[in-house]
Structure 1
Amino acid sequence: MIEFKNVEKKYANGTTALQNINLKIEQGEFVAVIGLSGAGKSTLIRCINRMHDITEGQLKVDEVDVAKLKGKQIRQFRRRIGMIFQSFNLVTRTTVIKNVMVSFVPDLPLWRKLTGIFTKEQKIKALEALDKVGILDKAFIRVDQLSGGQQQRVALARTLAQNPDIILADEPIASLDPVTSKLVMDDFKRINKDMNISVIMNIHHVEIALEYCDRIIGIRKGAVVFDGESSKVTQEILDDIYGGKLEEVKASLEEKSANV
């Protein structure tokens, strides 16, 4: 379980990114965090794995006080949490399977890190992860030969290979066309249901969030203004979350999709 208690986040320049956040996210939930750019969506999910430190309140993951972790404890804690980025964060000049096996590097002895030699078991785990996202046949192809959607699936396979309890996704479909976006979201949904992995996703595509995610958290100016089931989201609620600017957001997304 992930629990925020009166969490605040202020940056060094005085900007308040999060204020009075109180949330509980149970294991196995599929949650979308929505709101305008700059509302605090990315900050919220990045506090969960200590990419950002909170400045007030308490954040716990399975009763572990995240803010109190130090050094090696933080690295071990992050092994349980996969992170998917909009930019994929892949090494494009090497093969798909080598990118997936990067997830094992923190646990390797020094000589394996230096030589890049992985165990047979790790190679099998990497192939199994690729199979789960439907691109096993691309294992020995260079990443730069793949489409954007296939690259995002490699990033997802890399995360699955570390056997996480939680997946945090920061705009995972922002740079994908509508058809590919649906395929990637299908992967997230299947993994969430079949493997009982919690998925917390920061996403601009409201219709896709409502279609795929079980729960919606709406953020406006760093505060939670809605938290409930996707089926309970009305136009009035969306207008409140987006301050009446939802149509502008949709128009911007449609323009980006046309240029993908």
Structure 2
Amino acid sequence: MIKFEKVDKVYKNGYKALTDINLEIKEGEFVAIIGRSGAGKSTLIRTINKMIDINSGSLLVEGVDVSKLTGKKLRKFRRNIGMIFQQFNLVNRMSVINNVLAGFVPDLNIFQSTLGLYPKKYKLKALEALQEVDILEQAYSRADQLSGGQKQRVALARTIAQDPKIILADEPTASLDPVTSRQVMEYLKKINKENNIAILLNIHEIDLGLEYAERCIGIKDGIVVYDGPSSEVNSEVLELIYGDAYNKGE
């Protein structure tokens, strides 16, 4: 489904974020990507929807060469990939349902998008998505009236309403307390299992990532140093990924 072959990424300042990445992600996998800050985790997942361009190598998503996509083809391609961010990316002054419906704007004509006229089928999909993450009762509340955990569930609803085949989650629990973080992870797991959506999760909370994801990819200085079952990640593996930072509890 997703295939990296010898992928490198070097930023303009000369920083090499990814080196010789060779990975294959299958349909329906739930993968946690762990590593120190600056290891290349966010860069890795953001190459998949071409938010970040690779410099060399090959990156295929469902057989499509991502590096060659531009314009309308790139926008169409991104419709199959959901993205969840740490800061939710909601419009606070808008209602919950309108935040979910905003994901359909690229499918509207100019008249519809200007006036916010969404076809009934989109409204039904938005309501179904809100129900799936148990926040339907807040559909007509303003987003700024919600807690952080509720906002992230709305972001999840916006994503699943698009029927994505892949979800990229970039630190989705970083702004949340431990209890709410676990709730969000439960919803991600539910979406993964019930809809067979591949999820790539960049996460700092090691224990949380390993508990919910079946597979773990460990990155150190832009290099994959571990790729295997989460259940087999032990202190030796974590020391390999985090080095001295793991021993110091950082």
Report the TM-score when normalising by structure 2: 0.99
Partner of residue 41, structure 1:
41
For residues 16-42 of structure 1, the C-alpha deviation after alignment (integer angstroms, 9 at most, x for no partner) is 000000000000000000000000000
Partner of residue 59, structure 2:
59
CA distance in 2, matches of 1:57, 1:221: 18
Displacement of 1:234 in angstroms is 1.0
Displacement of 1:110 in angstroms is 1.1
CA distance in 1, matches of 2:202, 2:248: 18
Partner of residue 31, structure 1:
31
CA distance in 2, matches of 1:243, 1:88: 31
**2:244 partner SS:** coil
Q: Residues 206 and 112 of structure 1: is their aligned pair in 2 closer, same or farther, counting only changes over 3 Å?
A: same
Displacement of 1:249 in angstroms is 5.5
Alignment of 1:191 with 2:200, yes or no, is: no
CA distance in 2, matches of 1:146, 1:111: 30
Displacement of 1:96 in angstroms is 0.2
Please list every run of 5 or more consecutive structure 2 residues that lacks an aligned counterpart in the other structure: none
CA distance in 2, matches of 1:235, 1:181: 23
CA distance in 2, matches of 1:44, 1:247: 25
RMSD: 0.8
What is the aligned residue count? 250
**2:20 partner SS:** strand
Percent of pairs identical after alignment?
Answer: 59
Partner of residue 255, structure 1:
none
Q: Residues 219 and 93 of structure 1: is their aligned pair in 2 closer, same or farther, counting only changes over 3 Å?
A: same
CA distance in 2, matches of 1:128, 1:65: 33
AA of the residue aligned to 1:21: I
Alignment of 1:112 with 2:112, yes or no, is: yes
**1:76 partner SS:** helix
For residues 125-146 of structure 1, the C-alpha deviation after alignment (integer angstroms, 9 at most, x for no partner) is 0000000101000000001110
Q: Is the 8 A contact 2:239 2:247 kept in 1?
A: no
CA distance in 2, matches of 1:246, 1:136: 41
Runs of 4+ in 1 over 2 A off after TM superposition: 246-250
List aligned pairs for 1:1-260, cutoff 5 A: 1-246=1-246, 248=248
